Amino acid sequence: MTDAIRIRDLTWRAGRDFAIRDLSMTVPTGAIYGFLGPNGSGKTTTIRLMLGMLPPADGQIEVLGHSVPRFAHRALARVGFVPERLHLYPMLTVEESIRFHRAFYPAFDDAEAERLRRRFGLREEQLVSRLSKGEAGKLMMLLALAQRAELLVLDEPTDGLDPVIRREVLSALVEYVESRAATVFISSHLVHEQERICDWIGVMDGGRLIAELPMQEFRSGIKRLRIAQAPPTQDAAPFALLSREALPLRDEEWVVRGWQPGMREWFQRAGAEVRDIQDLDLEDSFVELLRGARDNAEETR
């Protein structure tokens, strides 16, 4: 099995206001896959479809080699899940929560659970109802990691956590991946957080996957160009044009995806000149991808 998650032509609709449209996605085994997108873009809905919580209208979903939703129970036995809204029983203590979760997973690692409990500073006798949001988030991550899952699916696991707790949780996650060769699918709108840990990126907007590429390509392949005597069209261009704007002195600013140094020649053949090339940080690249996708959607309506 080379892919932990394979989704093809997935469709799902919630009334007239929102739909997942023809979604195809591939998460390689052993990857830390960052699933980026603004709030309301469909990230959580995609995760629920992926884990068999919602029935798709059309398409195919495979998780760890099992077809979902038909064989979701087989896949979920090997998946650790941290949802956006934490599901913990408030009347239980930390110790009781660990024992309750352990009962469902034969491979649950008691020693690892205890190590993480101490590392995260969680007291056994603490009631879940009295945990802070950060402490509850650490407990959910503890349960997922101690489960010894082959695939971790994390939906905004650090949302609302302070920087110290966020770093602690992510550090434990990276250590787990390195020791277990596990696959991680982590949904977030915190772009810089993903840059530190992910090696693949998928970008979601308006129910569509608008980009899926290795992190290195995402980080280095999106550029802002200043063009003199810019050609009127980008027909047969070797890159994807995300946006173009007029500048003073009849120059134009182009933001392109998939840029390589040798692509200057395309402009030269068109009678144009690349006057400047700027690298974009990850957040700017994310924003430009979203803007380009939305502009293209407007043009096709």
CATH code (residue 55): 3.40.50.300
**Tokens for 35?**
């699933």
- pLDDT value, residue 250: 86
CATH code (residue 295): 3.30.70
Residues 292 and 151 in one domain: no
75-to-19, 65, 289 alpha-carbon distances in Å = 25, 8, 32
Residues 207 and 243 in one domain: no
- pLDDT value, residue 300: 60
Would the pLDDT of 299 be above 70? no
Residues 99 and 247 in one domain: no
Would you tell me how many other CB atoms lie within 10 Å of the CB of residue 263? Answer: 17
Residue 260 identity:
Q
Residues 147 and 239 in one domain: no
**Tokens for 172?**
């434990």
In which domain, by residue range, is 34 found? 3-215
Which tens digits make up the pLDDT trace of 199-243?
A: 999 999 989 999 998 988 887 888 999 999 999 888 888 998 888
pLDDT band at residue 30 under the 50/70/90 scheme: very high
Decide which of 163, 180, 215 is a domain's last residue: 215
Residues 149 and 113 in one domain: yes
Task: Check residues 172 and 5 and name the one with the higher pLDDT.
Answer: 5
- CA distance linking residue 283 with residue 168, whole number of Å: 22
pLDDT band at residue 52 under the 50/70/90 scheme: very high
Which residues, at least 6 apart from 163, have a Cβ–Cβ distance to it below 8 Å?
none
The average confidence (pLDDT) of the chain is 90
Which tens digits make up the pLDDT trace of 116-128?
A: 999 999 999 999 9
Residues 228 and 198 in one domain: no
How many structural domains does the chain have? 2
HEC readout, the chain? CCEEEEEEEEEEEECCCEEEEEEEEEEECCCEEEEECCCCCCHHHHHHHHCCCCCCCEEEEEECCEECCCCHHHHHCCEEEECCCCCCCCCCEHHHHHHHHHCCCCCCCHHHHHHHHHHCCCCCCCEHHHCCHHHHHHHHHHHHHHCCCCEEEEECCCCCCCHHHHHHHHHHHHHHHHHHCCEEEEEECCHHHHHHHCCEEEEEECCEEEEEEEHHHHHHCEEEEEEECCCCCCCCCCCEEEEEEECHHHEEEEEEECCCHHHHHHHHHCCCEEEEEEECCHHHHHHHHHHHHHHHHHHHC
Residues 267 and 177 in one domain: no
- CA distance linking residue 277 with residue 289, whole number of Å: 17
- pLDDT value, residue 195: 80
- pLDDT value, residue 170: 86
Decide which of 200, 215, 230 is a domain's last residue: 215
Chain CA centroid to CA 149, Å: 18
Give the strands of the sheet with 58-63, arranged side by side.
18-28, 3-14, 58-63, 66-67
Q: Rounded to two decimals, what is the model's pTM?
A: 0.87
Residues 204 and 55 in one domain: yes
Residues 200 and 247 in one domain: no
Residues 20 and 57 in one domain: yes
Which tens digits make up the pLDDT trace of 112-165?
A: 999 999 999 999 999 999 998 889 989 999 999 999 999 999 998 887 777 888
- pLDDT value, residue 1: 56
Decide which of 215, 237, 265 is a domain's last residue: 215
Would the pLDDT of 108 be above 60? yes
**Tokens for 230?**
């810019």
Which tens digits make up the pLDDT trace of 60-101?
A: 999 999 999 999 999 999 999 998 887 889 999 999 999 999
Would you tell me how many other CB atoms lie within 10 Å of the CB of residue 209? Answer: 23
Q: What are phi and psi of 197, to 5 degrees?
A: -120, -20
Residues 192 and 239 in one domain: no
Residues 209 and 281 in one domain: no
- CA distance linking residue 115 with residue 146, whole number of Å: 10
